[in-house]
Amino acid sequence: MTAWNILCDFDGTISVEDVIDSLLDRFGRPGWEALEQDWRAGRIGSRECMTGQVDLLDMSRDQLDKHLGGLWIDHAFPAFVAKTRELNTPIRVVSDGLDYAIHKILGRYGLDDLPLAANHFAPAQPPRQWQLTSPFQAEGCRSGTCKCACVAQARQSGAKTLLIGDGASDFCAADRVDFVFAKHRLIEHCRAAGIPYVPITGFEDALELLPKLLDGSLLEEHAQPERIVAIAR
């Protein structure tokens, strides 16, 4: 079997819904929608957008934890993680979301020990205020978590790299990995950019496809000849 590293997005990929969006809908003070519009229009990057939006959250720790307790993950994700561990295939969660929320949600499933790269979310002063910092940002990248840097780090082992994702925060990284399991908007991006991928609706599909990825047959079926040459170089 070919050695692989797996990098997996969280919001909308592992989680059923986007965590920060759900928090803003419930606890956001006026102004967060304008930041969202600026980000979608490309006037600001996701790090600037989310930092400003987190500043506008008004909630206690108890309210936050209660809200997170009602958010769910793809029902097949725990089985997928179990299979990667059985097959000695490293998996890391790479997210432009909130580390505290991700740990809280995954913790309910006994998965909070998964390696994680995400924005750091912490209480601020005065009470009910919150702040965002980005320990995984990179120079020249406007995202809070530079997923391209995570890809580069994963490739240092010499293993191939799989990205599992769903949206705009995964676009750049998708062109730097060996293969993609794509959901939602990432499907359209991979198709338009000629990136080798398979569409998935969730981790039941990913679990079924994993053996074919590891034995090399999936890459052979979908990789374009010019990309095979580029990856070999």
Give, in order, the Cα–Cα distances in Å from 202 to each of 14, 79, 162, 181, 225. 8, 12, 15, 9, 28
Is the distance from CB of 183 to CB of 197 less than 8 angstroms?
no
Q: Which residue has the tokens 């006037």?
A: 43
Architecture of the 4-16+72-118+137-232 domain? 3-Layer(aba) Sandwich (3.40)
Please identify which residue in the block is written with the tokens 């790299």: 161
Strands 129-133 and 116-124: antiparallel
User: Domain residue spans in the chain?
Assistant: 4-16+72-118+137-232
Which pair of tokens denotes residue 184?
A: 């939602």
Angle formed by the axes of helices 19-27 and 99-107, to 10°?
A: 110
Confidence (pTM): 0.93
Evaluate the omega torsion of the peptide bond into residue 126 and state whether it is cis, within 30 degrees of 0. yes
Question: For every one of its 233 residues, what pLDDT tens digit does the chain have, with 9 covering 90 and above?
Answer: 779 999 999 999 999 999 999 999 999 999 999 999 999 999 999 999 999 999 999 999 999 999 999 999 999 999 999 999 999 999 999 999 999 999 999 999 999 999 999 999 999 999 999 999 999 999 999 999 999 999 999 999 999 999 999 999 999 999 999 999 999 999 999 999 999 999 999 999 999 999 999 999 998 888 665 544 344 43
In whole angstroms, what is the distance from residue 18 CA to residue 214 CA? 30
- How would you classify the pairing of strands 197-199 and 179-182? parallel
- So what's the pLDDT on residue 222? 84
